[in-house]
Every structure is written in structure tokens, then in C-alpha cells.
Chains A and B, each alone.
Chain A
Amino acid sequence: DTGVSQDPRHKITKRGQNVTFRCDPISEHNRLYWYRQTLGQGPEFLTYFQNEAQLEKSRLLSDRFSAERPKGSFSTLEIQRTEQGDSAMYLCASSYLNTGELFFGEGSRLTVL
């Protein structure tokens, strides 16, 4: 399977704990995006990378959130001191150069108790 893969698919954690999600994009894609999706809503943009450079961060991304793409390949999204409001599906997508189509992974669902 050469699509976008995300790990873990499901994460249940207690409020105040830290969580980290990993995304492996399609290998030849140089852009990688993180989105958050809550029930009944469309995906909300969080941040994106071109190669290893983080080019934009949404105001939704509080200082408890950090994303990295150290070698321009896989990316991690870390949430520190999780809150119940962080419960959502975290979607990763990748694209090639500046083409329009984003290829999404199946997401990592976070539940904060």
C-alpha cells in the first residue's frame, strides 16, 4: 500500500497526558498537511510542511500543539497536556509540489477522557 498512513488509528488518553501521532506520506510527495475533524464538521487546517519546512500554522494550533517533519519524510503531531476539547480525528494529507489534490490518510482518532 503506497497511500498515506497514520499511526495510531485510535488513541484514548486521560486529560493532561501527552500524545503523539505519526504520518507517513506518499513517498514522492513533498507537501504534508495536518487537519483536525470533529463530528459533523469538515476538516480544519492545522499546519503544513513543504519538505522539512513548516510553512504555515493555523491559529487553531495552540502552544500545546507542535508538529515536525525532520527529514522531509514522515511527520509527527504532538499534543501536550491534552484537554477534552482536543478529542477529534486528526487527518494527515500529502501532495506533490503545488498540485491541487490532497491525498488523505484514514486519520488518528483521539479521545480525551
Chain B
Amino acid sequence: GENVEQHPSTLSVQEGDSAVIKCTYSDSASNYFPWYKQELGKGPQLIIDIRSNVGEKKDQRIAVTLNKTAKHFSLHITETQPEDSAVYFCADSWGKLQFGAGTQVVVTP
């Protein structure tokens, strides 16, 4: 995909609350949507991904939902913890990923 838009750019939540990050994409052919977490001084690391034949995927406290008709997908983090504080990036495309601009998530105790 050529263009992935991500919102919000920053997100502050109290520990224990939920966090939601949304992304929209423009390429109808996109069929793979990963989410990466980047901690300070480190490279991005995959935390969850979803393929176009599935509407939702969950892994413990994180989940991703996909709406192909509307061309958007979202990351949901429940019961947030201080170690969830990081920058989160959505991306699309297979292999050669196109990333969003990122969301700085701050979880305050």
C-alpha cells in the first residue's frame, strides 16, 4: 500500500484502561496488516498481525480488528500496563511493509 494513516499520534492512558489505535489504508489489494511495537533505542518488533480473510484476531491482552470494506484496522490493548508504553506502528502490504507514522502510547501508573 502506498499510504497508511494512523491515529492518534499520541495516547495517554491510566494503567488498567484500554488503548485503541486506528489505521486506514488506501490500496484495495492490501491483504496483510501487522502491528509493530518500538521501544526506545530498539528496532520495531511484531506484536500481532491479521490477514484479509479474518475480521478479528486476539492474543492475550492485544487484539486487532479489520474492516476491509471501510479500509481500516485497529489495535486494541486491554488492561494496559506500564511496559506497554512504546511507539506502535501499523503497516500494510506483504513483505515490503508500508508503515504508518506511529502512535506514542504512555501508560501512567
Contacts and interface: CB of A to CB of B under 8 A. Distances in A.
Nearest to B44: A104
Interface string B80-109: 000000000101001111111110000000
Contact of A104 (B45, B98, B102): B45
Interface residues of A, number: 22
Nearest to B43: A104
A3 to B, nearest CB: 9
State which size class the interface on B falls in: 20 to 34
A59 B46 CA distance: 26
Contacts of B91: 42
A45 B93 CA distance: 12
Interface in A11-46: 31, 33, 40-45
Nearest to B100: A42
Given A4-B43, A106-B43, A43 B49 contact: no
A33 B43 contact: no
B101 A42 contact: yes
A4 B97 CA distance: 17
Contacts of B89: 42-43
Interface of A: 4, 31, 33, 40-45, 48, 56, 91, 93, 95, 98, 100-102, 104-107
